[in-house]
Amino acid sequence: MNLLDLVKFDEKGLVTAIAQDATSNEVLMLAYMNKETLSETIESGDMVYWSRSRQKRWKKGETSGHVQKVRDIFIDCDGDALLFKIDQTGAACHENYLSCFFRKREDGEWKIVGQKLK
Residue 113 CA neighbour count, 13 Å, CB half:
8
Residue 80 DSSP label: S
- pTM for this structure? 0.94
pLDDT score at 118: 78
Give 107's contacts (C-beta < 8 A, 6+ positions apart). none
Residue 6 has pLDDT above 90, yes or no: yes
Consecutive H or E run containing 29: strand 27-33
Residue boundaries of the structural domains of the chain: 3-112
Rounded average pLDDT over 87-112? 96
Band (pLDDT 50/70/90 cuts) for residue 1 is confident
100 pairs with which residues across the strands? none
CATH architecture of 3-112: Roll (3.10)
